[in-house]
Amino acid sequence: MTALYFIETRPHFDHSHPVHKKGCPLRPSEKKCKLLGPFKDGNDAVMEGLKHFHSVKGCLFCISNRPEWLKRDFGEGNAGKN
Ligand SMILES: [Zn+2]
């Protein structure tokens, strides 16, 4: 089952652009979002978002299942690095 996903056009304090599922209460108004389109899950929507912005992340509220490569990029998989 697919859902519509949006990306915030204004970056957050960490310079990333959050992706939201339609209906997410944390999604800003339509004017501050760009429609990415229908995707089967949040990971696909984030991949699409990376075509528009350099730094993209799934909203922690509506997209919690981030792929492993994205966790690595954000340092969550580097616990043993130091
Ligand atoms: Zn959201």
What is the Å distance from ligand 1's center to 66 Cα?
Answer: 13
What pTM, to 2 d.p., does this model score?
0.76
Phi, psi of 33, deg, nearest 5: -130, 155
Query: Quick one: average pLDDT of 23-34?
Result: 93
- Helix H segments across 2-59? 42-49
C-alpha 44 – ligand 1 centre gap (Å): 15
Higher pLDDT: 66 or 17? It is 17
Give residue 78's pLDDT. Answer: 47
**d(C-alpha 66, C-alpha 64), whole Å:** 6
What pLDDT score does 67 carry?
54
Q: What is the pLDDT of residue 30?
A: 85
Query: Which residues lie near ion ligand 1 (Cβ < 5 Å)?
Result: 20, 24, 26, 59, 61-62
Please provide the distance, in angstroms rounded to a whole number, between the alpha carbons at the two ends of the chain.
Answer: 41
**How far is 24 from 45, CA to CA, in rounded Å?**
14
